[in-house]
Structures are given as C-alpha cells and as structure tokens.
Amino acid sequence: MCELLGMECNVPTDIVFSFAGLTARGGRKGPHADGWGLALYEGKAARTFMEPAAAADSPLAIFLRNHPIKTLLAIAHVRKRTRGHVSLSNTHPFCRELFGRHFVFAHNGTVKDVRRFALGRFQPIGTTDSERAFCALLHKLERRFKTYPSSKRAFFAAVSEMGAEIGQKGTFNFLLGDGEHLFARCATKLHHIIRRAPFRQATLADDDFRIDFSEVTTPSDRVAVVATMPLTSDEEWTVGTPGTMWVFGDGKLKATLQSR
C-alpha cells in the first residue's frame, strides 16, 4: 500500500516538515520505494515534481526540502507498487485540467474492476488502476457540472458519492485537490490534524526532526494536514472513519460526508 500526504492552509505555508516525514517512509523507514511525487498549487495551477524512485534517496526530494515553496494546498505520495510497473507515468500524484483548473489526485489501495467506468476525454497515460479511477472521477464530474460548481454543498456531495461508487470494489483511499479544497476519502485508514494557535512543538515519528511551530507562524494561521498514518509522535491526530470523506478549505475542516 502507498502513503498519502495532503496540506491545506489559510496562509501560504511550506510543507517541508511533513514532507520530510513522508520521504523517510519512502524507502528508509518504510517500504514505499517505488516512486514519489509532490504537487504544489499556485492558484488554479499546480506544479508537480515526481520520480519513479525512492524518495528517501532522491536528490530532488532533498532539494525541495532545502528550497521550500510556500503554497495553500499540496498533495504528496510515496508509492509501493501493486498494479502497474515502476515508471514516471505510473507515479502519483496525477494531474488533469477540468473546469479551467488543475485537479490533482493521489490514491492508496487497489480499485477492482475499474475498467467498467467510462472515461470520456480523460485518458490514462500509465497503467495503474489509480490513474484510471481518477480519470473516471473527472469524467463523472464533467458530466454532472457544466462549469466549476457554484454550490459547494452539491460539489462536495458529488465527489463523495462518486468516490463511493468507484471504490465500491476494492480500496479507495484518496486525496483530491482543486486549488481551493482538499478532499480526503477514507476507505480503510486516514488521519488528519489541524494546527492552530496556540502552536507548539512537534517531532516527526520517522525522522530526527523537530520544529516549534510558534516560531514560524502567526496566531491567525491554520494548517490542515492529512496523512495515511500520523507523521508526528507528540501530537493528537484525528482518525478517519472508513466510508467517510473530509473536505478542507481555508485551513478548516469544512465538511465530513458519508462516502459508502
């Protein structure tokens, strides 16, 4: 199984601390050595960095840790191959245009019988069930909405409903970003934390890295972090309920929906 990492904030923030914890699991503290990727939004557009190699040994991953890029929304992934060979085309996160903006997607698990879903104009580049499921999800959204949805309630409900339908056969833990929101569906295992004032110190569970967030934040900052497993050893993370989906925006948990 792969591991997911998402961050959504109310002010531009770098993901260096959490990304360091994730990359440690990408071949050094965990078996997820078959590729890694990081997508950082700037408005409606996302810049992506990916390699079909272990994140723990990657000069590019180290470069990104040493040269932080601040963002309001980020999605990262370390891969342990289940379907599809190790290649750049099979490396998460995947990115496509819909409604004039980038949608970014990363998946943990296996989606069975995914070929039963229509894809429309969204065609996979690689051979994973994950990318095909992403294409199917976007096609469903494009058929449901002609433009970017003005009703957030309808939009959130649609992603939750479609995630449940696609994930009915298999395991469909995923992160989805649209430049404004971070969707996090829990099929089996997912956790989140929202860091806000009063900020305190935190220590990575898989790396000798500690930070005092009170020294790098303001009292009005809010940062939501989602991960497959908690990244820190001295913070309290919220455990996801299988068959539910979280939606984060502006550094807050905007909604928790049923997705089964």
Residue 228 sits at φ, ψ, to 5 deg, of: -55, -50
Q: What is the pLDDT of residues 226-247, one digit of tens each?
A: 999 999 999 999 999 999 999 9
Where helices occur in the chain by DSSP H, the ranges are 16-24, 59-66, 129-144, 152-166
Beta-ladder partners of 232: 204
Q: Amino acid identity, residue 206?
A: D
Domains (range + CATH), the chain: 3-258 (3.60.20.10)
Q: How far is CA 19 from CA 35, 68, 183, 227, 231, in A?
A: 14, 10, 19, 10, 9
Q: Note the pTM of the prediction, 2 decimals.
A: 0.96
Question: What are 187-237's pLDDT values in tens digits?
Answer: 999 999 999 999 999 999 987 789 999 999 999 999 999 999 999 999 999
Active-site residue identified among 2, 9, 95, 135 = 2
DSSP structural state of residue 140: H
User: 186 catalytic, yes or no?
Assistant: no
